[in-house]
Amino acid sequence: MKMSTFVLVHGSCHGGWCWRNVTPILCKDGYSVYTLTGLGERSHLVNRDIGLHTHIRDIIQVFEFEDLDEVILVGHSYGGLVFGRVAEKIPQKIKRLVYLDGYIPQDNKSAFDLEPSLETLYKERALREQGKEWLVASYKPEEFGVTNRDDINWMSTRLSPMPWHTHDQSIRILNPLAKTLPKSYIRGVKHYLKPLFRHVRRYVEPFISSDFIREKMINDD
């Protein structure tokens, strides 16, 4: 029987590095961890034109150049928007979508549309004093719900500012084949950044009842 292949898509301000403790568990299966352009070890490539559409292309290129098929696509937070559009473009290559505290993409909507309070926050955190109003300072590890001091120290040196256009670009969600893909939603019991994820309450519950096989609840104590 063919082993599953996992493609792990990180969220805002992170990079492929954030999956370090997960990938050993997947050793028996294939997996691909990729850092989105302008973040993590690719932060030297950041520029004002990078946006959600850039990151969608990043992941589609991984599928194309690594000849991936039957993939379990995992997206954390912002990564849910990225793979939402990837699934629209290449649903035939995807076995299951797994949202890890992720955005639920909606047709013709951006992250700012899904959670309007985010735009206000991003404006406050924009790096204007550095002449980079198109770049938004990273959240601190504690804002992501991290409490372990070693993990906080590890993350603090790796989190990257986020390009503005990752959150103001919308995507189209129209492909009927993509809508039939099996889906799972993994939600933390104590959700980090709770005020920023009210859209999860609006969209996840009906999504689970109609499209999701199951919802897993993870206690993040």
- Strand 132-136 vs strand 162-163: parallel, antiparallel, or unpaired? antiparallel
Asked if the model's pLDDT at residue 200 lies above 90, the reply is no
Which tops the pLDDT comparison, 28 or 132? Answer: 132
The residue-averaged pLDDT of 161-185 equals 95
Asked if the model's pLDDT at residue 32 lies above 80, the reply is no
Full set of structural domains in the chain with CATH: 5-218 (3.40.50.1820)
Distance CA 125, CA 135 (A): 8
Asked if the model's pLDDT at residue 204 lies above 60, the reply is no
Instruction: Give pLDDT tens digits for 58-107.
Output: 999 999 999 999 999 999 999 999 999 999 999 999 999 999 888 989 99
Distance CA 48, CA 26 (A): 35
Least confidently predicted of 12-16, 17-21, 159-163, 197-201: 197-201
pTM: 0.85
Asked if the model's pLDDT at residue 3 lies above 70, the reply is no
For the chain, the helix, strand and coil percentages under 3-state DSSP, each to the nearest 5: 45, 20, 35
Residues tagged active-site: 77
